[in-house]
Chains A and B, each alone.
Chain A
Amino acid sequence: MEEITALFHGFAVVLTPFNLMLMLIGITLGVIIGVLPGLGGANGVAILLPLTFTMSPTSAIIMLSCIYWGALFGGAITSILFNIPGEPWSVATTFDGYPMAQQGNAGEALTGAFTSSFVGALVAVIMFTFLAPLVAKFALQFGPPEFFSVYLLTFCSFVGTGKGNPFKIIASMMLGFAMAAVGIDIVTGQLRLTFELEVMLSGFHFLVAVIGLFGIGEILLSMEEGLSFSGQTARINTRIVIETWKKLPRYWATSIRSCVIGCWMGIIPGGATPASFMSYGVARRMSARGDKFGTGELEGVVAPETAAHAAGTSALLPMITLGIPGSPTAAVLLGGLLIWGLQPGPLLFVEQKDFVWGLIASMYLGNIAGLIVVLTAVPLFAAILRVPFPIIAPVIVVICAIGAYTVKNNMFDVWLMLVFGVVGYVFKKLDYPLAPMVLALVLGDAAESAFRQSMLMSQGTMTIFWSNWLAGSLTTLALALLLWPFISQLKAKLRPT
């Protein structure tokens, strides 16, 4: 068991007082970020990323991934107590979590949510521990055509699995690619799309885009809805925790199903949000008490939370092993790796053993620490939400501005952040998805160079993407996913009514 030895080595790397402190800071910050409107996982990690430039990569990834776990936990608090999903993946948790809180069972709902989040994450981490080295080893044989077909699959699956207008998904994604191309071309050294403007020379930084699109955009949306927080109070004590834990094993079948859905949706870039909805839907259909769902069933909290956390965790698997993030937050973490001078992808497992296994070990420890922090400090986090919006809103704008400035110490980026904020607001209202745009902005250069190298290898013919069974099946699958919305539309039209 090579992995077990490596994992224990990872624990040894992580278990220093400094790293443990970072872990706790990360979890706490993450929960706060998850609780506050306008500061999501992706945006929170993006703002804090520049602060980690001086740390060692291992310490930095520990802190940032713990922020991510914290944000995953934090979303549940607002869903259950305030009926406001702090994060998109906790929307499904409101369906049964808030009714439970209204009936006075907030403690039970929260304990159930946190515990099942933990279980989901743990299962995903165990899968990660054993699957990631295999995927990485397999991917070592990849050449440019294989990599490009994996990129293609990632982007096409947004179109295939997305619910909105496929043309809007494509437009949003391609805008991301176009923004990634701005600046100096890495191969020829020529300036592209800069229009002789000095500020365009360094291109668009994805962190600025993330802070604007997700941070400022979210604040504008929250303002429009005229947020008024009126929440339930939560009391969690040891007795409630233990009583809820006694009930949870009853839902083992739901847990297993949700873990499987979550892990699968996380690896393919579906992400935590659809995973939580799908898991809730499946649980409602399969459960004996399915008709009671929506009125305050604990099982209706367990299902989405388990899946969301499992998906959030397994989204890191393709990020680490292939360099392809499964979610916007994973995309931001990937950008972080590049800034710290690490090249994500299969070689990471060979060249940066300390980093990779330190990260995996911190996933185990971070989730344990997360569970303890949220179970003990719920009232504190709920109190943050009671801070009135006229205080929170300008403070978040200030935090976003600082975050955008520190990316490149550039004032222009702060203006860009505002522009991206308005774009994020309009796009969200018009159903243009933001996740594909961010992913394209992060992966644009890598996808382009994989494409150009493939073209060089084949002297410009596209058949190289079908030159072997692996690239061929990936490309075919990708194109099938791309065409899927059109095929299903056509089918619906042809069906006799």
Chain B
Amino acid sequence: MSHEPQAAPGGTRTVVIDLVTAAIIFGLGALVSWDTYRLGASWGAEGPQAGYFPFYIGLIICISSAVVLGQSLAKLGRDKSVFVQREQLRQVMIILLPSTVYVLGIQFLGIYVSSAVFICLFMRIVGSYTWLRSAVVGVAVSSVTFPLFEIWFTIPLPKGPLEALLGY
């Protein structure tokens, strides 16, 4: 990570993300401690209660993230490095958003159809391949995985209306 000051062309500073992440981790730690305290984090009739160990884990999470929080607060004015450039963020979103839609697609169309569509569209739109090449690669990946999992390994993967139509 580069720490030299950069003229920020839009983009959140690293130290701010650091601060927010530490705050979220602190919250998670507090949640862990609170829930395990509710469960009983002390010494019961037959030894340590269920929350005994995780309660302290939550406490350590809180302490360590509080220190990180303090460290980033101290750096807040000075550190000007940018967490992610706008162009970089765009690159990340190019794969992250379609992947999210893809996972959503698995729930409705099954994994084979959505994988083929995902690969095909990604190649076509991001890689500017021809429709034919994109479709061939997409369908090929699904037609290899289908017999591999459903027949050879006998591990059923999520299936949708198309597979139902074909009798699976």
Contacts and interface: CB of A to CB of B under 8 A. Distances in A.
Interface of A: 50-51, 54, 165, 167-168, 170-171, 174-175, 177-178, 181, 185, 187-188, 190, 192-193, 195, 216, 219-220, 223-226, 388-391, 393-395, 397-398, 401-402, 405-406, 409, 411, 414-415, 418, 421-422, 425-427, 429-432, 448, 451-452, 455-456, 460
B28 A178 contact: yes
Interface string B15-42: 0011001100100110110011001000
19 contacts: A167-B71, A170-B60, A175-B61, A177-B57, A178-B61, A185-B50, A190-B39, A223-B91, A223-B92, A388-B127, A390-B122, A391-B123, A401-B115, A418-B99, A418-B100, A429-B83, A429-B84, A430-B21, A452-B53
Contacts of A426: 17, 21
Given A193-B32, A390-B122, A398-B119, A171 B25 contact: yes
Given A178-B61, A394-B119, A165 B71 contact: yes
A402 B95 contact: no
B29 to A, nearest CB: 7
A461 B95 CA distance: 52
Interface string B99-141: 1101100110001000100110011001101000000010001
A171 B65 contact: yes
A175 B65 CA distance: 11
Contacts of A406: 149, 155, 157
A399 B76 CA distance: 40
B158 interface: yes
B119 A224 contact: no
Interface in B59-88: 60-61, 64-65, 67-68, 71, 83-84, 88
Contacts of A430: 14, 17-18, 21
B94 interface: yes
Contacts of B127: 388-391
A188 B50 contact: yes
Contacts of B145: 398, 402
B96 interface: yes
A402 B114 CA distance: 12
B165 interface: no
Nearest to B152: A51
Shortest 9 CB-CB contacts between residues of A and residues of B: A390-B127, A181-B54, A394-B122, A171-B64, A185-B50, A190-B50, A170-B64, A167-B64, A224-B88
Given A181-B54, A390-B126, A409-B156, A195 B35 contact: yes
A167 B17 CA distance: 16
A479 to B, nearest CB: 14
A398 B91 contact: no
A175 B28 contact: yes
A224 B89 CA distance: 7
Question: Which of A51, A223, A452 is most buried by chain B, counting CB atoms within 10 A of its CB?
Answer: A223
Contacts of A178: 28-29, 32, 54, 57-58, 61
Contacts of A224: 84, 88-89, 91-92
B47 A456 contact: yes
Given A171-B65, A174-B60, A448-B54, 9 more contacts: A171-B68, A185-B50, A195-B35, A394-B95, A394-B102, A397-B102, A406-B155, A448-B53, A456-B47
B61 A452 contact: no
B159 to A, nearest CB: 12
Contacts of A226: 88, 91
Contact of A429 (B1, B126, B141): B1
Contacts of A394: 95, 98, 102, 118-119, 122-123
Given A51-B153, A223-B92, A216 B36 contact: no
A275 to B, nearest CB: 23
B48 interface: yes
Contact of A411 (B29, B84, B107): B107
A79 to B, nearest CB: 21
A226 B52 CA distance: 47
A226 B90 CA distance: 11
A54 to B, nearest CB: 7
A402 B149 contact: yes
Given A51-B155, A167-B71, A224-B92, A174 B53 contact: no
A460 B119 CA distance: 57
Given A175-B25, A178-B58, A193-B36, A431 B99 contact: no
B103 A418 contact: yes
B101 to A, nearest CB: 11
Question: Which of A185, A389, A406 is most buried by chain B, counting CB atoms within 10 A of its CB?
Answer: A185
